[in-house]
Amino acid sequence: MQATQVQQKRLSIGIIGGGIGGVAFAVALSRDSQLDVQLFESAPQFSEIGAGVSFGPNAVKAIQRLGLEASYQRIADSSPAPFEDVWFEWRRGSDDTYLTASLAPGVGQSSVHRADFLDAIVANLPDGIAHFGKRCVEVQQDAKSATAYFSDGTHFTGDVIIGFDGIKSAVRQHVLPPEQYGEITPLWSGTYAYRGMIPTSELETTLEAHGSKKRLALVPQMYLGKDRHILTFPVKQSQLVNVVAFITDRSTTNPKLPEGEEWVQAVTHKEMLGVFKDWGPACQAILECIPEPMRWALHELPELTRYHRDRVLIVGDAAHALVPHQGAGAGLALEDAYVLASLLTDTSCDRHNVSDVLSAFEQVRYDRTCKAQRTSHEAGDIYEYAGVGSSADETRLIENLETRFEWLWDHDPYDDVVAARHKLALAP
């Protein structure tokens, strides 16, 4: 990070945040020897919270484009034949009745354990790029450089700062100064998510004991009901089943989390069972197997005015955090990583025009990411009979579930790269 070293490179890039998106981005940039790439993570080591993460076809395409497919395929799960194209089967939560299935041909429910996937990406990161215990507290910039300041008293100065630092982003405050844009804070969606991981064999046994088919443990399921829904899908080579059970407070249009309540906390088995006490046997079997659930208060961001300010850019959840109802968050971060890395590794991009490159990135990504935020929230309403297609109109509900993901999945992020290069008048 010495100034003499930086000047030897075409571009110096500081990445704030070492989650899935930030590390994938750093790996892609590290392949260009003319870039000085430094990644700063607040934790003492790479680590991921959460459990399973689902990837749609667009996310798998981004992983391929990033050159990470081999790493991904070693740990990715998929549904057993003949259900390999099933993203989710949809069922009534009250009695487990099958409604329809959403199909993602060639991909299906491609899912991983978050920590395993991060480890797989990190294995591709060269030594010397990652720095730990670096919690960003402020970003500043001038006409020639951008600087990130850390809580340990150190700082990094480079040509650009990229904020991959999540929903509680510190970089976002620089891009959207509160004195100009007001305080932008994560909003509670009104939804709590009870999470657990169940050994697959245990769930199969319990399902059969409740009179349900054990294949419900291996094929991704979504159980729908009024203000509640439950999803399951296998992870860790189908050794475990990831379970998330949602309940939403729709009594007010602007729900507020109780003062001082932690976003994530352990709750009792009794509380979770009480929320779903009138649901069908398969759901009872699933929840019975989670003796110590964690309850997450799901937060999201409003659609932001912008993601870019001169030499500083926010991406991933720092820019467009959303609720998980379309399995879109991690995939969008990987799309961001691929598109941005493609533009910054172009030999025509240097410290003199990099702000224009960041602006072009924002222009080609903004509408898509905002739409993903909006439709993810809508999806939660639909699953919980509060949106298009209510419980009284299952035909309309089924039609919606079968088609609503096509715009999200049928997207190649390379098209964004081409569009951005066109805006910059570069050859594709």
Closest CA to 389 of 55, 87, 100: 100
pLDDT for the residue numbered 395: 86
- Compute the distance between CA of residue 94 and CA of residue 230 in angstroms, rounded to an integer: 11
At 168 the three-state DSSP class reads: coil
Residue 94 DSSP one-character state: T
15 bridge partner residues: 39, 162
Is the Cα torsion angle 339, 299, 265, 53 positive or negative in sign?
negative
pLDDT for the residue numbered 75: 87
179: which 2 tokens?
A: 């004195």
Beta sheet of 221-225, edge-to-edge order: 98-103, 86-92, 221-225, 228-235, 240-248, 187-199, 294-300, 264-266
Alpha helix (H) residue ranges in 33-112: 57-65, 69-73
Residue 426 DSSP one-character state: -
pLDDT for the residue numbered 50: 64
Q: Which amino acid is at 91?
A: R
77 bridge partner residues: 111
195 bridge partner residues: 244, 294
Quickly tell me which residue has 């991690």 as its tokens.
330
Q: What's the average pLDDT block by block, 10 residues per block, for the chain (428 residues)?
A: 56 97 98 97 86 88 96 85 90 96 85 89 96 98 97 98 97 97 95 95 96 93 96 89 96 90 95 96 96 95 97 98 95 97 96 97 98 96 80 81 94 97 79
pLDDT for the residue numbered 117: 92
- Compute the distance between CA of residue 255 and CA of residue 178 in angstroms, rounded to an integer: 22
What residues are annotated to the active site?
195
Q: Where are the domains of the chain?
A: 3-78+111-185+301-388+406-423
- Compute the distance between CA of residue 293 and CA of residue 194 in angstroms, rounded to an integer: 6
Residues 6 or more apart in contact with residue 413 via CB below 8 angstroms: 58, 61, 62, 65, 335, 338, 339
Residues 6 or more apart in contact with residue 221 via CB below 8 angstroms: 88, 89, 91, 230, 231, 232, 233, 282
12: which 2 tokens?
A: 């110096």
Q: How many helices (H) and strands (E) does the chain have?
A: 16, 19
Quickly tell me which residue has 């976002």 as its tokens.
172
Altogether, the residues listed in the chain come to a count of: 428
- Compute the distance between CA of residue 239 and CA of residue 19 in angstroms, rounded to an integer: 24
Q: How far is CA 182 from the centre of its chain?
A: 25
234 and 217 in contact (C-beta within 8 Å)? yes
- Compute the distance between CA of residue 32 and CA of residue 49 in angstroms, rounded to an integer: 30
Backbone angles phi, psi at 68, to 5 degrees: -115, 15
149 bridge partner residues: 138, 155
- Compute the distance between CA of residue 172 and CA of residue 164 in angstroms, rounded to an integer: 10
Q: How far is CA 71 from CA 68, 81, 112, in A?
A: 5, 23, 11
Closest CA to 224 of 72, 102, 371, 313: 102
**Per the CATH hierarchy, to which homologous superfamily does domain 3-78+111-185+301-388+406-423 belong?**
FAD/NAD(P)-binding domain (3.50.50.60)
Q: How far is CA 323 from the centre of its chain?
A: 9
Beta sheet of 146-150, edge-to-edge order: 136-141, 146-150, 155-158
pLDDT for the residue numbered 28: 98
Q: How far is CA 300 from the centre of its chain?
A: 11
